[in-house]
């Protein structure tokens, strides 16, 4: 699993522009070590953005480090 730094992990906090999706740029603003490969793995439907369901599933599989 990916080691995510302990920081804001609720969807609304990461979705900086409140678009309803998290872009790679928004995700990397919260988790600077997030790779494009890890983001692509979270983007299950491969639409180049992570929706709230994909985000929740990704965090469940990759809990932030305490």
pLDDT digits (tens, 9 = 90+) for 6-30: 556 789 999 999 999 999 999 999 8
Among 1-5, 31-35, 38-42, top mean pLDDT goes to 38-42
Q: What is the pLDDT of residue 8?
A: 60
- Please spell the DSSP secondary structure of 16-51, one letter per residue: TT-SSEE-HHHHHHH-TT--HHHHHHH-TT-SSSEE
Residue pair 61/1 in contact (Cβ under 8 Å)? The answer is yes
What is this structure's pTM?
Answer: 0.83
């Amino acid at each position: 699993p990916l080691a995510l730094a302990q920081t804001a992990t609720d969807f609304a906090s990461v979705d900086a522009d409140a678009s309803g999706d998290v872009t790679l740029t928004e995700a990397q603003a919260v988790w600077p070590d997030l790779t494009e490969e890890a983001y692509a793995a979270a983007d299950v439907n491969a639409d180049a953005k992570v929706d709230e369901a994909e985000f929740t599933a990704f965090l469940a599989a990759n809990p932030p480090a305490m």
